[in-house]
Amino acid sequence: MSQYPDIFDLRNWDFTLLKRYKPVFSKPNKTCHLCAMGPCKLTPPAPPLLKGGDDGGLVRVGSGRVGKCGIDEKGFKAREALLDAVIGASGHVSHAARLAEDLINKFGKDCPVNMGSHTSMPTPITTLITGCTPKNIGEFKDILVYIEGQLIHLLSSVNFGTEASPEDFVSKMLHAGMLDNLAMELADVAQISAMNMPKGESNSPLVTIGIETIDTSKPVILIIGHNSTVAHEIMHLAEDRGLKDKIEVCGLCCAASDGARHSHGFKIIGNQASQIDVIKSGIADMVILDTQCIRADVVEEARKVDSIIIATTQETALGLKDLTGKSPDEASEYITRNGTGIILDKKKAAEAALKIVISEQWSVVRKRKEVEKMRSLEDEQKLLTSHPLNFSTSGLLRIGRGPIRDSEIRGVAPSIIMGDIPGIVGIFGCPEERQGSGVRDQGSEKPIPINSDSDV
Ligand code: SF4
């Protein structure tokens, strides 16, 4: 296999896989809006003698309705699927690049890759794809540049008048998936190494979970997103300044899981699906956002309950004012007065957050909202515990243990392959939001039965 493979390096192998495994495109959409010549309504191959074409697309007799650019229905659906794959991969790649940048700024480019003693191969995916085994996190930059370049080529294939073959679109989706996995490994190895997260040891620590575990008599800082550096900065700054027992730092979603991996006093209070309920409860005095899984109405809802918002990434700016160039004092003053602001420097954001939540000025606001907050928190707890998924179950959760040990995978690989011992399939994901948090438009186009899509 080629090192740093380009799209064509694995194309033949992808086609071999496609002969064996048929792809499924589950999106029900049949109308293309990609370019200014559209919209075009596309249909699968029609019976011979079908004629028409006066409502958008052209009709080829016997071959279904195609777009004005000539793309057929299978190509259109495969193209949409490639776009989805590139969007998803871009989220992880962007996160990995921003996280690596933050960690290099904080710990230096020579910060060693350290995945502990339980694995002899610290970066298995990276080594397989690139042929190199990075020794420090500074070396991740070149690999991320490779991934970013490949993603641009994949995105360009989605462009009007470029790729048309369903098989090639799917091959490119597999390429996007490979890049996505590579970026995810880099992000996790960087944070495990730099922030000394668990490295495969047994009995990783237990942390408290559940909204009920928050002491609302203290200022509450809630972190939502994926970039674990802001939680790291806040926890360390609070400790350095003797504020650790005077504030509550908690999180939702991935920011929470990763925050708890480096700081065991960090509380996980819910997942992405409970985001709007937690925000509306007013439990948070301060909400820190980074990127991904952030609800579009988070600023509006947070401000209704007097929660302050600090956004920390360029990807999720939400129309807020950028205060990165201001001093922590100036930024804090602006945010206290206006309720929102962006600070891209995570250390400065942490300083501003602490400064605000322990300030005299903010304690007046806190007192004003305290009664209301307690009442809404009670309602919220009832609401969450009545949910079928019971978001609010408090208890203990074992934090992510880090890399799989050699003894758990490579040492037993022959036995797993030969079927002597069972393998494990893990299926993970976030629960769906409860009814009433948003309305999903089912649209007029019905989902396409899987079988009709399975013959690319
Ligand atoms: S890309 Fe093709 S199918 Fe899509 S809107 Fe443009 S012309 Fe129509």
Kindly write down the DSSP assignment for every residue of 92-148, as one continuous string.
Answer: HHHHHHHHHHHHHHHH-TTPBP---SS-S-S-HHHHHHHS---SBGGGHHHHHHHHH
Residue 241 reports pLDDT greater than 60: yes
Local confidence band at 195 (pLDDT 50, 70, 90 cut-offs): very high
> DSSP character for 206?
E
Distances (CA, A) of 182 to 112, 131, 153, 231, 273: 19, 12, 17, 24, 27
Judge contact between 83 and 93, C-beta under 8 A. no
Q: How far is residue 341's CA from residue 331's CA, in Å, rounded to a whole number?
A: 8
Residue 101 reports pLDDT greater than 80: yes
At residue 454, the pLDDT reads 38
Which whole number is the average pLDDT over 249-259? 84
Complex ipTM > 0.95: yes
Q: Best mutation site among 29, 30, 32 for ligand 1, i.e. most ligand atoms within 8 A of its Cβ?
A: 32
Local confidence band at 374 (pLDDT 50, 70, 90 cut-offs): low
Which whole number is the average pLDDT over 346-366? 80
Residue 32 reports pLDDT greater than 90: yes
Q: Best mutation site among 40, 55, 83 for ligand 1, i.e. most ligand atoms within 8 A of its Cβ?
A: 40
Which whole number is the average pLDDT over 270-290? 88
Which whole number is the average pLDDT over 363-370? 57
- Which residue lies with its CA nearest to atom 5 of ligand 1? 38
| Nearest atom, ligand 1, residue 39 CA | 5
**Which amino acid is present at 199?**
K
Q: What share of the chain is helix, strand, coil (3-state, %, to 5)?
A: 45, 10, 45
Which whole number is the average pLDDT over 39-62? 61
32: CA distance to ligand 1 center in Å?
Answer: 6
71: CA distance to ligand 1 center in Å?
Answer: 7
More confident residue, 231 or 416: 231
What share of the chain has pLDDT > 70, as a percent? 83
At residue 260, the pLDDT reads 83
Q: Give 270's strand partners.
A: 252
Q: Between 140-158 and 73-107, two packed helices, what is the crossing angle to 10 degrees?
A: 160
At residue 364, the pLDDT reads 53
Local confidence band at 106 (pLDDT 50, 70, 90 cut-offs): very high
Q: Got the DSSP string for 310-375?
A: EE--SS--TTPPB-TTS-HHHHHHHHHHHSEEE--SHHHHHHHHHHHHTSHHHHHHHHHHHHHHHH
At residue 439, the pLDDT reads 53
Query: Does the domain at residues 206-398 carry the CATH identifier 3.40.50.2030?
Result: yes
Name which of 124-128, 138-142, 246-250, 422-426 the model is least confident about.
422-426
Which whole number is the average pLDDT over 194-204? 89
Q: Mean pLDDT across the chain, nearest whole number?
A: 84
At residue 269, the pLDDT reads 86
Which whole number is the average pLDDT over 90-116? 95
Residue 421 reports pLDDT greater than 90: no
48: CA distance to ligand 1 center in Å?
Answer: 24
Which whole number is the average pLDDT over 92-109? 95
What share of the chain has pLDDT > 90, as a percent? 50
Measured from CB, residues less than 6 Å from any atom of ligand 1 are: 32-35, 37-40, 67-69, 71, 160
Judge contact between 173 and 82, C-beta under 8 A. yes
The residue written with tokens 């360009």 in the block is 156
Which whole number is the average pLDDT over 133-140? 96
- CATH fit for domain 7-32+71-194, picks 1.10.8.190, 3.20.20.140, 2.70.98.60, 3.30.1330.10: 1.10.8.190
Residue 210, C-beta contacts closer than 8 angstroms, at least 6 positions apart: 269, 392, 393, 394, 395
Residue 29 reports pLDDT greater than 80: yes
76: CA distance to ligand 1 center in Å?
Answer: 8
Q: Best mutation site among 160, 162, 163, 169 for ligand 1, i.e. most ligand atoms within 8 A of its Cβ?
A: 160
- Which residue lies with its CA nearest to atom 3 of ligand 1? 67
Segments making up each domain of the chain, as ranges: 7-32+71-194, 206-398
Judge contact between 247 and 359, C-beta under 8 A. no
Q: Which of 140, 174, 123, 138 is nearest to 14 (CA)?
A: 174
More confident residue, 332 or 358: 332
Helix or strand holding residue 65 (H, E): strand 64-66
Residue 341 reports pLDDT greater than 60: yes
| Nearest atom, ligand 1, residue 66 CA | 3
